[in-house]
Amino acid sequence: MSELVTQRQSGLQKKYRFTEAKRNAISGYLYIAPFFILFAIFDIFPMFFSFYLGFQKWNGLGEMKFYGLRNFELIFTDPIFWESIWNTFIIGIISTVPQLIMAIILAFVLNSRLLRFKNFFRVSYFLPYITSVVAVTLIFKIIFSNHETGLVNILLNYLGFKSISWTTSYWGIKVAITIMIIWRWVGFNTIIYLAGLQSIPNELYEAATIDGASQVQQLRHISIPLLRPAITFTVFTSTIGSLQLFTEPLIFLTKNSIRQEGITMVLYLYRDAFERSNFGKASATSIVLFLIIVIVASLNYYLSNTIGTRKRRD
Amino acid sequence: MIKKRLLVLLLAAVMAVSMMACGGGANKDAGADTSKQTDTAGDDNSKEKETEAPPEKVTLQVWIFGTTGYDELSQKYTEANPHVTLEFNSIASGDHHDRLFTALSAGTGAPHVTQIDVDYMPRFRETQNVFYNLYDFGANEIKDLYLEWKWNLGLGVDDSFLIALPTDIGPTAAYYRMDVFEEAGLPSDPDSVGKLISTWEKFKETARTIKQKTGKPMSDSVELVFNALRDQAQEQYFNEKDELIIENSPYIKQAYDFTVSMIKEGLLGTYSLWETEWNAGMSSGSYATLLAPAWMAGVIMGNAPDATKWCITSMPEGAGNWGGSFMAIPKQCSEAEAKEAYNFIKWLCAPEQQVESFKMAGLFPCAIASLDDATLASTPVGDGYFNGATAGVFAEAAKQIKDVYKGKHYPVANAEIVKALYTVALEGADPEAEWAKAVEAIKNAIRE
């Protein structure tokens, strides 16, 4: 009898300390802990630290000095900073817009029943995405060489145009980088759209075909409106991607000659931090960049959300 | 049941810890990766330990970059000092300096001894206190062994603080293509070519002849010609207060204008340094000269292993320096270890070892005694690749180099001016407008 009581008591006591639900919760948290611990160390902490650094003067080794808003003043009065914003947006627009349009068309073609060897094309379009950015940029650098012997310049000469000095001219740099981005990302977006297209019920197309709608009409009135979630996603990722554009211009221009014709926002802050050991100013730039991304991304979200809704209303 | 849960918890904990350990893993891997030499040196230790009572055993981590041959060279040191074990760790220059910067910034993880490239010295100079002051170990005694300008580059912000001992330098000379000179009907032996381009005006005159006769440019790029002119200037971009002086001081502007005048006549090549075509151009003989430091010999031989027409002579009107390194002791180890580290780098930077490392890896010495060393002066560069040119030409160049104040903003300023020159050469831009733009950009960049 007394044994039983103590047993029950001890059982109760245990339940008091950790209920079943709590125990589950704890093990659950422990399972996801590795990610969050790493995330805290490598993402959360640096994020807040750079907010703090934005108001300091620091060369990375010595003492920090409180600088107030001086870093921001330096940035906003530097014409190259504005140039970097301009470049980022220009490259962003001329790479994203044609890219997404191309991706939709490609996805539509790949999804069409008329095309043969579909898997081959799907794989080929996606392949650039899994290549290394650095390697690709190095190869593009050779293709877009400044000299008459460069592949693109040979082509231009053949077509009767003058050679272009791709790494120094105002539009040369931008166009070369844009082509690199499009080449690399168009396949990725195509696959996203293709997945979106395949989730659209076939009956809609069949009905449209019976009603005599052409392929183009089907694309405009069925595919695009129903692709809205996929479009929102790709516009979102492409926008953030182009605002963070860094590796391509860095490798294309090489570290020692980051020219203002091709400098992007991230490149601007990278140069301040790692070339000029001015971590305060670089962090301040990253805060500005953060705000710009928030504004652009929300604007973007709003706009791409309206694409399908208006179409659906007609 | 409970056991099982505990096991799960334990596993989760282990995973978390092991993943966190990944962050610090780089260091450990690097440690395990150190050259085999450590092991052999260890063996030597144990053998010799029996015969004499050694001083306290010490293991020194040494970070180096590029091809130095220091690990091989240092076997002599560990043989003579069996209580010392050296762990060498060599990675590419960029990674090396980033890693060093991170370790110094974090206050932990730096090695006992580290090599630092001259270009990165300004980054560390202002915070000299992250290093031991080598004057505290008696570095003053060996000061006179080295070229003064090189020694001064190892100083901290004040002259009483020595961050690092000098290892090697990059004195410049004129590499040239004998075949291009011959094609233009000019003599091609080093003495005659040296006379032919002894002044910059003569250099330009020769350039015109070569352009006329062969259609080839005198130099690979605008950058190297400008560098050569710049290095001969009495003043560089900044005064000792780090104020930009190029608007009033004539020297840099003269160097710029002279380069522009050669661009305008089409006498300079349009390659950019380090691009693929520039590398390839070394084998084809598409230009006449390459004004570059001693270590460029290795680059030329690597890019054009089959070329037989390269030779070397002196630069017009004196030489400059490009590259070279130092050895420093980060202030993260104990005083006793630092002392051992100092003894090691003092040995490594001594004139005898500098001659050795020149023979082994082509690092050009900066010790006066090594420069006067007869074997060095008569050593053919690149084992005869340069048609009999000897290292003497660089030894002479090393003594001509001026000790001019450069300042912490030097890389920024220089990059802007060089960019302007490239724009003039490649885009045909107006040189005065580009100069003004560059000056503006420098002023903006150095504001604080």
Tell whether A25 lies on the interface with B, counting CB pairs under 8 A: no
Structure tokens at A245: 């554009």
Asked if residue B154 belongs to a domain, the reply is: no
Asked if residue B17 belongs to a domain, the reply is: no
Coil, helix or strand for B409?
coil
pLDDT at A308: 54
Q: Are residues A120 and A219 in the same domain?
A: yes
Q: Is A59 in Cβ contact with B447 (below 8 Å)?
A: no
Asked if residue B377 belongs to a domain, the reply is: no
pLDDT at B28: 37
Q: Can you give the residue range of the structural domain that contains A106? A: 70-313
Asked if residue A74 belongs to a domain, the reply is: yes
Structure tokens at B24: 């610090």
pLDDT at B374: 84
Asked if residue B4 belongs to a domain, the reply is: no
Q: Is A260 in Cβ contact with B12 (below 8 Å)?
A: no
Question: Residue B196's domain is classified under what CATH number?
Answer: 3.40.190.10
What sign has the CA pseudo-torsion B19, B21, B24, B28?
A: negative
Asked if residue A64 belongs to a domain, the reply is: no
pLDDT tens sequence across A119-136 = 898 899 999 999 999 999
Tell whether A124 lies on the interface with B, counting CB pairs under 8 A: no
Q: Is A276 in Cβ contact with B16 (below 8 Å)?
A: no
Question: Residue A125's domain is classified under what CATH number?
Answer: 1.10.3720.10
Asked if residue A61 belongs to a domain, the reply is: no
Chain B closest-CA separation from residue A110 CA (Å) = 38
Tell whether B336 lies on the interface with A, counting CB pairs under 8 A: no
CB-nearest to B419 from A38, A62, A259 is A259
**Number of Cβ within a 10 Å radius of residue A163:** 16
pLDDT at B66: 86
Asked if residue B369 belongs to a domain, the reply is: no
Q: Is B19 in Cβ contact with A34 (below 8 Å)?
A: yes
pLDDT at B40: 42
Q: What percent of chain B has pLDDT over 70?
A: 88
pLDDT at A297: 84
Kindly list the residues from chain B whose CB atom is less than 8 angstroms away from the CB atom of residue A259: 419
Q: Are residues A84 and A130 in the same domain?
A: yes
Q: Is A146 in Cβ contact with B272 (below 8 Å)?
A: yes
Q: Are residues A46 and A88 in the same domain?
A: no
Asked if residue A154 belongs to a domain, the reply is: yes
Mean pLDDT of the region A232-240: 89
The total of structural domains in chain B comes to 1
Would you tell me the crossing angle of helices A118-126 and A79-111 to the nearest 10 degrees? 170
Kindly list the residues from chain A whose CB atom is less than 8 angstroms away from the CB atom of residue B9: 27, 30
Tell whether A15 lies on the interface with B, counting CB pairs under 8 A: no
pLDDT at B48: 44
pLDDT for residue A12 is more than 60: no
Chain B closest-CA separation from residue A140 CA (Å) = 12
- Residue of A290, A284, A266 lying closest to A53 (CA atoms): A284
What's the CA gap between B316 and B195, in Å, rounded?
Answer: 9
Asked if residue A211 belongs to a domain, the reply is: yes
Mean pLDDT of the region A185-189: 94
Asked if residue B439 belongs to a domain, the reply is: yes
The total of structural domains in chain A comes to 2
Q: Is A277 in Cβ contact with B16 (below 8 Å)?
A: no
pLDDT tens sequence across A125-179 = 999 999 999 999 999 999 999 988 899 999 999 999 999 999 999 999 999 999 9
Q: Can you give the residue range of the structural domain that contains B189? A: 172-321+400-446
Instruction: Point out the residues of chain B with pLDDT beneath 50.
Output: 1, 17-50
pLDDT for residue A32 is more than 50: yes
pLDDT at A30: 93
Tell whether A163 lies on the interface with B, counting CB pairs under 8 A: no
Mean pLDDT of the region A57-83: 92
What's the CA gap between A36 and A42, in Å, rounded?
Answer: 10
pLDDT at B25: 36
Tell whether A142 lies on the interface with B, counting CB pairs under 8 A: yes
Asked if residue A293 belongs to a domain, the reply is: yes
Q: Are residues A149 and A217 in the same domain?
A: yes
Do A60 and B105 form a contact (C-beta atoms < 8 A)? Answer: yes
pLDDT at B53: 58
Asked if residue A62 belongs to a domain, the reply is: no
Q: Are residues A104 and A250 in the same domain?
A: yes
Q: Are residues A120 and A163 in the same domain?
A: yes
pLDDT at A15: 52
A3 or A255, which is more confident:
A255
Q: Are residues A138 and A252 in the same domain?
A: yes
